[in-house]
Amino acid sequence: MSTQEQYPLDVESIREDFPILGRKVGGDVTAPGEGPDHSTPLVYLDNAATSQTPTQVVDAIVDYYYGYNSNVHRGIHHLSQEASVAYEEAHDRVAEFVGASGGREEIVFTKNTTEAMNLVAYAWGLSELGPGDRVVLTEMEHHASLVTWQQIGKRTGAEVRYVRVDDEGRLDMDHARELIDESTRLVSAVHISNTLGTVNPVAELADVAHDAGAFIFVDGAQAVPTRPVDVEALDADFYAFSGHKMCGPTGIGVLYAKRHILEAMGPYLYGGEMIRKVTYEESTWEDLPWKFEAGTPPIAQGVGLRAAVDYLDEIGMENVRKHEELLAEYAYDRLAEYDDVEIYGPPGDDRGGLVAFNLDGVHAHDLSSILNDHGVAIRAGDHCTQPLHDKLGVAASTRASFYIYNEREEIDALIDAVDDARALFG
C-alpha cells in the first residue's frame, strides 16, 4: 500500500496553514544574529494538550475584531446585530458538526470542557443528587470529571464509584454493568482517554445507563477534534469538548445537552445576558442556550470555533480519524521495538491518536527535556489523571499525541531523540 493510500491527508498542504510549524526551537537564547544558531525544527507532538491554530481561524478572529467587534444581544446598532448573528450562527454550526438536531438550543458555549463539566455538576448535580444516589465514573477519567464529581459527592452525600480498567487499558464492561444499578443517577465517561488512548464504548455505556434510569455525560475533549462524532447516535445526555484541541482558539468549550434536560436545569451562573426579567424580588431566565451564558460571552472565540469547524469539515473528519490512527499505530510499533520502553493502553491499531510511554530508568520529565533539546514537543507528567497513574504504578509518563499536520518522519525524529536519551542515561 502506498503512503498516499495509507495516509489520506495532504499533510504538506495542511502544514502551510500553520505558520508556527516552520519555527525552530532550542539552541542558544540570543538576540537574532548574535551567536551560533543551534536550534532545530519544531516537531510538535503535544496535540492532546492543545492543537495549533490555522491561518483561516486566526483570520476569522481578526475579521471580527477589525470588522464588527461589539457586544451581542444588547444593542440595535449595526455592529451589535452583526456580532449577534455571527455568535448565534456559531452555535448552529457547532450543533451541525456534532449531530445535535435541536440546533443552538442544545449548544452552550463555556470556556472549556472543565467548565462544561462543572456547569452540569452544579446546575444539575447539586439539586438532583443526595444520599443513596450513585455517580459512576471510570478509572481513566480526567480530573475535570473525577475531581468535580468527587466534590459534588462530598457535598450531596452521593456515592461515587469507578469502573475498572483492565490490564490492556480497556474498560471492564462487566464491572460497569455491576456498578450501574437502579441507584445510579449519572454515568460520566471519557470518550477517548488522554493517557491510554483507549476509545471507550460510550454508546454501549449510554445503553447501560439509560436502562438503569441514569443520565450519561461524555467527556469528548479528545474525540471531537479527531473523529466524526454524532451525539444523538451515541445517545449522550451531556457531551462536552474544547475548542483549543480542534484548531480553534483557547477560552471556548462546548456543552451539548438534550433540550428537555437543559430546560429542566436551573442556571449555573447569574447576571446579565441570561435573564428575561428582573425585579427587586424575583428574576426569570432567558431562553436556551442563553440562560447558561451569563455576562459577555466568548464572542471572538465563538467566531473562531466556527471557522475551526469549517476547516475540519473541509478536510473531512473520517480522514482525520484515519490519519491519526495510522500515526498512532506507527508510533506504537516503533516504540514497541524496544524492550526498555513501556507503553500504556491498547495495541497501536486500536487507539486514538496518542501514545503514552516510559523509558526504563529515565523519569518522564528528564526524557521530555532531552526531547525538547531535539526540537520535539511532547507532554510529560500525569496528564491530569493522577489516580490512573497510581494504578499503573508510575508517577508520570511521556505522551506523544498527533494531529492533522503530523507525519511519519516526525515520529522517526521522536524515536531518534529517545535513542539519544537511552544512550545518555546508559
DSSP 35-61: S----EE-EE-BTTT-----HHHHHHH
Using alpha carbons, select from 70, 68, 65, 50 the residue that is nearest to residue 112.
50
Q: How far is CA 401 from CA 72, 109, 309, 414, in A?
A: 37, 26, 20, 11
| The residue to which cell 448552529 is assigned | 92
List 261, 384, 394, 415, catalytic entry: 384
Would you say 375 and 27 are in contact if contact means Cβ atoms under 8 Å apart? Answer: no
As a whole number of angstroms, the distance between CA 304 and CA 63 comes to 10
As a whole number of angstroms, the distance between CA 423 and CA 335 comes to 16
As a whole number of angstroms, the distance between CA 417 and CA 394 comes to 22
Q: How far is CA 217 from CA 36, 92, 141, 245, 321, in A?
A: 53, 21, 12, 19, 22
As a whole number of angstroms, the distance between CA 115 and CA 103 comes to 21
Locate 30 and state its grid cell. Answer: 540570543
Residue 247 appears among annotated catalytic residues: no
Instruction: Enumerate residues 6+ apart whose C-beta is below 8 A from 170.
Output: 198, 346
Maximum pairwise Cα distance, the chain: 72
| The residue to which cell 489520506 is assigned | 8
As a whole number of angstroms, the distance between CA 87 and CA 68 comes to 11
Helix (H, G, I), strand (E, B) or coil at 377: strand
Q: Which residues are catalytic?
A: 384
